[in-house]
Structure 1
Amino acid sequence: MSEVFAGKVGWITGASSGIGAALARALSGEGMHVILSGRDEARLAEVAQDCETETLVLPFDVRDEDAMHAATEKAIKWRGGVDLFVANAGISQRSRATQTAMQVYRNIIDIDLTAQIAATQALLPHFAVRGSGHLVFVSSVAGKIGIPLRTAYCAAKHGLVGYADALRAELSQSGVSVHVACPGSVATNVSRNALSADGSPRGRSDSVIDNGMPADEAARRILDGVASGEREIIVARGGESSWGEQRRTPDALFDQVAAMVANGYMDKIEGEG
C-alpha cells in the first residue's frame, strides 16, 4: 500500500462507471476510504460493494450547486476531512461543429468544466486550512490537442487543464498538489453516452474506444502518477500517447510559474491600483 493513500479519504465524482469506478476500486485497494458521487445511486452502491474499505455514497447531479455544496459538507464531516479529490464527472461528444446545436456546447461545458470548477472551489477552503492533499482533474488527450467531432468536449477539457494549471501555481506554496490526468481511448461507455449534434445520446460505441486501454489500467496509471508527484499524467497508448507527450507542458515551465508565486507575484498584482 502507498502511504500517499492508505488510511486517508478520497472523493471521486463520476464514480458510477468507467475510470471513476476503477479509481474507487484502486484507491480502496490502497487502503483509502472512498466517497463515491454521481447521479445514479444504485450504480454507485454497486461500486461501493466492490471496494475493500469503508465507503460513503453521495449521489447528486454535478450541475446542482446546492446539492453539491450539501455533499461537500457531508464529505468533509464523514471522517474528519478529504485528502484527495478527483474531478472526473464528464460527458463527451460525437458530432461535426457545422451540425452541432449551441445547447450541446453549453451542456458539455457546464458538466465537464463549470461544474468541476464549482466542486473544486467549494473544497478549496478545506484544503487550504489543512495545507495538504491532492486535487486531481481528469481531462483528456483531447484536452491537449483538438480531436475532430469533439469541438465542445475539447473546449471543456482544454479549459479544465487551464484552470488546473493556474490553480496549481496559486497553491504551489500551500502543500496542496494539483494533478491533471489526460487519458486517451479507454474502454468505457464514454462514446455510447456521448452527445450527438442535437444533444441526444449517441447510443453506440467506437471501435477505438472498445479496443482502448482497460479502465483499471488507466486508473492505476493515474494513481501512480499522483503518488510520484506528476503534475501532468498522460494515460494513453500508441499514437495517442505520442500526441499527449508532444503537447505535455514541460515541468520547467510549471516551475517558472510557481517561482513567480514564491517571489510574491500574486501579492504584487493584488496590491497594484
Structure 2
Amino acid sequence: MSFESKVVWITGASSGIGAALAREFAGRGAKVVLSGRDEARLAAVAGELGTETLTLPFDIRDDAALAEATQQAIAWRGGVDVAVANAGVSQRSTALKTDMQVYHDIIEIDLTQQIAFAQGLIGHMADRGSGRLVFISSIAGKVGVPMRTAYCAAKFGLIGYADSLRGELSRDGVEVHVVCPGSVATDVSRNALTADGSKRGKSDKAIDEGIPADEAAKTMVDAIALNQREIIVARGMEEAMGKARQTPDQLFDQVAAMVAAGYIEKMEAEG
C-alpha cells in the first residue's frame, strides 16, 4: 500500500524507533502525529520531517490525556489511518531482586496502556472500514530473555492482545501488525528500569552494535506496506530465535475463518 497523505499516529515518537518510524512514514508522504512525554524533543523530530505534523505530548499512563489526544488525532485530518503503539520501557534486573512495583510500572506502560491506545481507535477504524494498528513488541515478546521478566510478560501479552484483536476485526477492514525487533541502536537499554525502578543509565554492547534505527524502521514500514502480520526485525541469533517462534500465517487465516463463519455471534448468543 501507499502511505501518501495517510495520517500516521506514533507514540514514543521523541526518539529511537518511534522517531525513525516518523521519518520513514514522512518520507513516504504520510502526515504524522507525534506523541510522547517530552514536548521539546517531539518538536525537534517534527522539524526534521518535511511533512504536515501534529504534536500531541502526553504521558501514556494518563487516561484522560490519552482520550483527549485521541479525539484531537482523529479530528486533525479526518481520521487516523495508521496507529503505531510504540511507547515503552525495558528492564535489566533479575526476578529475584526486582521490586513488585517495577512489574506494575512496566506492565502498565508496555501492555495496559498500549491496549488503551488501541481501544480508543478501534471503533473509529471499524466504523470507517479501514485502518492499521501496529504494535511494537520485541523478540522478547516471543522468547523469554533473562533479566527482562516484566518486559517479556508485557511484550508477550501485547502480542496476545494484537492476535486476538486481529481476528475480531478481520471483517471490518482493519489490519493488525505485530513488530518484533531485536537489538536496535537506541537508548532502550540506557532507559531500562533496574531492580528498584531506577533508570539503568548505561547501554549494552548488543544494543550499541544493533540495527540502526532508520534501517529498522524502513524494514518495518516495508513489511507493513506488504501487509505482513507478524514482522521480525533482527539479525543473527535474535533473528533465528524470532523465526523459531514466529506464528504461521495459516494460523492467522484459521482464526479469521472462524470469525467469518460466525464464531463471535455464536458465542454472544450463548451469553
Identity %: 67
Amino acid of the residue matched to residue 90 of structure 1? G
Match of 2:223 among 225, 228, 252: 225
Amino acid of the residue matched to residue 230 of structure 2? E
Match of 2:267 in 1: 269
Match of 1:28 in 2: 26
Match of 1:99 in 2: 97
The structural deviation recorded for 1:122 is: 0.7
Unaligned runs of 5+ in 2: none
The structural deviation recorded for 1:133 is: 1.2
Match of 1:78 in 2: 76
Unaligned runs of 5+ in 1: none
* Local SS of the residue matching 1:68: helix
Partners of 1:203 and 1:68 in 2: how far apart? 28
**Per-residue Cα deviation, 1:146-197 (whole angstroms, up to 9, x for no partner):** 0000000000000000000000000111111000000000000000000000
Match of 1:213 among 191, 205, 211: 211
4+ aligned runs moved over 6 Å, structure 1: none
**Per-residue Cα deviation, 1:33-86 (whole angstroms, up to 9, x for no partner):** 000000000000000011021100000000000000000000011011100000
Question: What's the RMSD between the two structures over aligned residues?
Answer: 0.6
The structural deviation recorded for 1:126 is: 0.6
Show the 5 A alignment for 1:61-210. Answer: 61-210=59-208
Partners of 2:97 and 2:69 in 1: how far apart? 37
Partners of 1:135 and 1:25 in 2: how far apart? 18
2:28 is the alignment partner of 1:8: no
Partners of 1:133 and 1:76 in 2: how far apart? 12
* Local SS of the residue matching 1:37: strand
Partners of 1:268 and 1:251 in 2: how far apart? 25
2:241 is the alignment partner of 1:249: no
TM-score (norm 2): 0.99
TM-score (norm 1): 0.99
How many aligned positions are there?
271
Partners of 1:4 and 1:182 in 2: how far apart? 22
